[in-house]
Amino acid sequence: MTWRAMTSEAPLSHKLLVVSHTSDLHELTSTHLKDNYIVDTVSNATEAMELLTHKSYCLMLVEQNLPEIDGLLFCRRVREVRDFSSLPILFIASDLSESIILEAFKMGVRDLITRPFHPEELRGRISVILQSQDEREHAKKSFDSLKLRSERDDLTHVYNRGALRSYALKEIAKARRSQESLTLMMLDIDYFKEINDQYGHQTADDVLHTLADLMVHELRKYDIIGRFGGDEFVILLPHTSIKHSSVVANKLWNSIRSHEFKTRSGTLKITVSMGISTLENPKATLHDEKKQLDQLIANADQALYCAKENGRDQFVVNNRTPVQL
């Protein structure tokens, strides 16, 4: 059964799911909560899981004695589903023995109430739970926002050097576990100093910002892009072999070379040089990841140097023969 009566006090996000096989609890919760919340009621765990799969709730009320399964066991099963792991649960117990209380909190229950209860007590407990949940979500959003800002380069909004290194170590660990290749690409804007000298820092910043946006657009969602310093960028390409890295580099090179960079000084065209290093069939232990990353960076940097020495506007794979474009 679903009630849809609302007042201005209840945002649409405040939807409650009541899981109980007793009609009096359905009636009580629907009658006394309908003015502030949208209330859905079901009589068993199966119906509850079905609704949880298709709808979003801010709180679930679970009665201890359910027909198919014990209420606490149902709470545990809900917690085991990743999508529902943070859903607050108010447990409605027939008795509040110490063992029930301990078991309930072990199952991830946020609060308990014992029958019979006064409607005002129920409303009060729900209000406290939802306020606490809102505060948690706000704190998490603030933390995520701070974390994002701390990881991003202020100008280009790709990862900064510190965050890039952290994610690179994680990707090397993943590559080691899956025994899949990982490619690291270093990219440098050709004659960037001349752009700075001729047009000024603001125009040079426009070029860097646009280049970062272009790389984000051209590369895969799970590829990792970071500003290594100045006009130098590092790109991590998971699941990418030496052979495929040339395909990726060629596609990116073409996109950059043909792109018109809109700046405050007008439209500019640029070229880039790239150095590529690939970790093939990694067999590192956990203690080797930092060394492997340093080696990948050193190899890519040496390849980038070769690309510049051979005339720029090209890429070199693993310090081998430069690929003329």
CATH number for 190: 3.30.70.270
**Domain span at residue 117?**
15-145
Q: What's the pLDDT score for residue 325?
A: 38
Domain annotation covers residue 151 = no
Q: Are residues 135 and 277 in the same domain?
A: no
Please report, to the nearest 10 degrees, the dihedral formed by the alpha carbons of residues 277, 186, 291, 279 taken in order: -20
What are the tokens at 158? 């790709």
Please report, to the nearest 10 degrees, the dihedral formed by the alpha carbons of residues 142, 147, 153, 155 taken in order: 0
In CATH, what number is assigned to the domain containing residue 24?
Answer: 3.40.50.2300
Given 3-state DSSP classes, what are the helix, strand and coil percentages for the chain, each rounded to the nearest 5?
Answer: 50, 20, 30
pLDDT tens digits, one per residue of 201-244? 999 999 999 999 999 999 999 999 999 999 999 999 999 999 99
pLDDT tens digits, one per residue of 78-130? 999 988 888 999 999 988 888 889 999 988 899 999 988 999 999 999 999 99
Q: Are residues 165 and 294 in the same domain?
A: yes
Please report, to the nearest 10 degrees, the dihedral formed by the alpha carbons of residues 79, 81, 82, 88 taken in order: -40
Q: What's the pLDDT score for residue 287?
A: 54
Domain annotation covers residue 225 = yes
Q: What's the pLDDT score for residue 146?
A: 78
Domains in the chain, number: 2
Domain boundary among 112, 145, 178: 145
Rounded to an integer, the average pLDDT of 254-262 is 97
Lowest-confidence segment of 3-17, 134-148, 260-274 by average pLDDT: 3-17
Domain annotation covers residue 324 = no
Instruction: Say how far apart CA 296 and CA 70 lie, in whole Å.
Output: 55
Q: What percent of the chain has pLDDT over 70?
A: 92
Instruction: Say how far apart CA 151 and CA 148 lie, in whole Å.
Output: 5
Q: Are residues 61 and 209 in the same domain?
A: no
Domain annotation covers residue 8 = no
Instruction: Say how far apart CA 181 and CA 178 lie, in whole Å.
Output: 9
Q: What's the pLDDT score for residue 230?
A: 95
Q: What's the pLDDT score for residue 286?
A: 46
Instruction: Say how far apart CA 225 and CA 151 lie, in whole Å.
Output: 12
Global pTM exceeds 0.85: no
At a CB cut-off of 8 Å and minimum separation 6, what does 211 contact?
Answer: 156, 189, 233, 256, 261, 270
| C-alpha distance from residue 128 to each of 3, 111, 162 (Å) | 22, 10, 40
Domain boundary among 98, 118, 145: 145
pLDDT tier for residue 134 given thresholds of 50, 70 and 90: confident
